[in-house]
Chain A
Amino acid sequence: MFTQFFYTLKAYKVPVSLTEWLAMLQAMEKGFAGNNLLSFYYLARSLLVKSENFYDQYDLAFREFFTGLEVPEELFDELLKWLSEETLKRHRDSVDLSSLPQHDWETLKKMFEDKLKEQKERHNGGANWIGTGGTSPYGHSGVHPGGIRVGGESNNLSAVKIATARKFRQYRKDVTLDVRQMKVAMKKLRHLRRSGNLLELDIDESIDQTCRNAGEIELVYHPERKNDVKMLLLMDAGGSMLPYAQMVNRLFSAANSVNHFKKFRYYYFHNCIYDHLNAGMEYGERVSTAQLLKNLNSSYKVVIVGDASMAPYELFMENGIIDYYDRNETAGIVWLERIANHFRNVVWLNPNPPRYWQHPTVSAIANLFPMYQLSLEGLESAMVELTRKAH
């Protein structure tokens, strides 16, 4: 009967599978949801949503599906008189929710108005009239799963209140991006190889050697597996990147503290990469880009972070460099091409969302490197791209 809820969840991009849905129906059949919407809220969440990243979408879907619909103002006061008093005794145990008729909003509203015309007195309990308790779809504190709520601090509807509070907003995957999440994403980058000290017992080899030794036990050890990935991080420290400084910083500290890279090098540039790269964020010590390409072999995984938007001459012209006292004999785009050709895996992370990527320099750069947004999802896809074997 809640099948529509399944699709509402899907519509809010909560990844629900059919198995999980069936498990939830099974649980409801066993009566685990009680007869109360709050229990149902928790039950469905624990069985259908498997990451706090989707709690917020779940809340939104729940709110849409279960919110008590509004009642016209003039009817309200009248109704409240009937509904306000009375200790509420719900006939929960005797109610089978699934047997109750379901109505869409239009029909429900019509029926509600008709009922209101017919009804001449207060009514509590029962399955027909507007009142408290009971299973009619109107009134409050009742247990009809999709009805009109009229005032009241209903227990059942507090679930919708909880959903409406959207406490889990900050857990949404597309919103937050902290160091830890970046690390998790970067952990996808790994290529294990045996190296270092002999620490693990090599059972196959031990048995083999022992047999060759006519039963005299011979233990053979081999090194542990370690990550073999080398990483080069190039970051734009230009003026237009200032708003994203914190995010780039986080990316840097994530990459720096994921201590599982075999080697990690990082440099800064302003707007575009030219003959030199800076070792720090400010001007100062710098290295020659050509030298760097010579020193680093093509197996380095390269991540370039920048908004890629600049004046076209900065990218396409010689001496287009933005720094007044500096000159570049080779156009920026040529340097970028060299980088793209030298390394097997390069990605470009852009802090701007894709809707801004129509800009001429951005699209020129996106032609050279696979470009992703600097968001958790973008970072994850970028890491997948980096682990791809070059053909």
Chain B
Amino acid sequence: MYFDPNENLIYPLYALSNWVLTTGGLMFVVLFVSLANLLVTRGKSGVGVFFAEIRGMISDVFSISPRRIWALTRLTFMEAYRRKALAVFVVFAVMFMFAGWFMGDTQEITPDQVKVYVSFVLTSISWLTLPVVLILCCFGIPEDIRLRSIHTIVTKPARRIEIVLGRMIGVSMIGVLVLLVMGTVGYIWIVRQTPERSQKFLVCRVPQYGGIKFINRDGDEGTGVNVGDIWAFRNYIEGATKARAVWQFRNVDESVLDADGNLQLENSFSAFRSYKGDMTRSLFYDIKFYNPENGVSYTTDPQPVNEFRSKLDKIPRKLTVDDVQYDLIKDLVTKNKFLHVEIACIDREQYIGMARPDLFIRMPNRPFWVGYWKAVLGIGLIVVLVSMIGVAASTIVKGPIATVLTFVLYVLSGKNSHQFMDALMSGDFKGGGVLESIYRLVTHMNPTTDLPETPAFYVVKGFDLILTSFLWLCKQVIPRLQSFNMTEFVANGFDVPFNVSILPSLLVTTAFIIPCVMLGYFALRVRELESK
């Protein structure tokens, strides 16, 4: 794994409070923007209108009719069909007909090749589905307003909130339908593309991760060595010294053993040689299990590092140390069900690198389709989220603008852009805000050089601070889609964990429902439907 799967870990207990916080924050933003809009457009009377609309909305919520919503959903469906949205299947078919041309030779298929297949299928499914959904959700209501067909609806007993909900559900359902078809075809394509003898690579491993800490060469707690990699994901331990990587696994009992009673420990350690030495011989590590409560320990024979591939070490339950037999679970696991595992590098002046997910207890595999469909679910949740944001945006602005707005929000919702915005707001980002960056670009000033301490630059920094504060406000509206991308788990042969990926994604998606519906309702109530 090249990322820490626990980055997005949410404990179920905190899930509800997280959801309330996100929804509440978004609702506040929506209400604040609506009130500001009414104050600007209608002056003092805007306050009255605002509260009247809130009352109206609450009343509408209690009079929602599922029948009317379903009718509007069907209408959205019919519209999409007439607009030939399903022509996306033609593009999909063409892509999959020729995809094999671009992707390696199936004669020498490896787990890496399978990774490419899975990534391709899931990426192309999302790239094809999202534009369709984006256009459908952003152009539906504006088109109704332009053609004045919305009058036919609003003059019926259908309420504004039902129109918004109907559109959202309709577009989401189209997206999900497209996704289901493409997901099924994609699954068949992956299975067919992988030869019979390589089908074993299509698995969903279920890992149980532990916490990691490093011991440095003197035996003190440390951080491991950086061997000069640009990507400092892994830390290295030096061979034939006291340097160790220590994992602590929770909840270890008999249930983690396989059918033969072995503990399956899988690793993907990295090797770094400070001198080449005998290149035909791998670097070696050993695994030590110890129980700090009773002082019992067991060290395995040296094992070769299998770099950039996984290596499975099966540890038998019955272990013999100095002619005394120990039980792995009874003697080496603490009373609180903790298992301590120490990794050491055997070779002098050589290094072995590892990060937290590089060692885990491997539980029984799940079928590939389980992880695959979970990843499709992740895409489905993005589709639903985009539909809601798109429909809400289309109630305020015209179709093309709503499309661009939703697309920009989607682009900005990735991990990198959130990290960039965080760095910009916290001041960690070198080079400053908008004005400061412009000044530095024009004058070719290095980002690490301090600005002159003059009044003009205080003004520049002050202006940037205002803009950055505005950015903070905008950031609250931009969803975090980091956990939605479940492709990486499946492509790397892992199951998609519920509390790391599915739960956070579900929370983000549902957190946007009420604010988006509210926004759509307010916009449709307040705006002039006659204006095209």
| Bound together | no
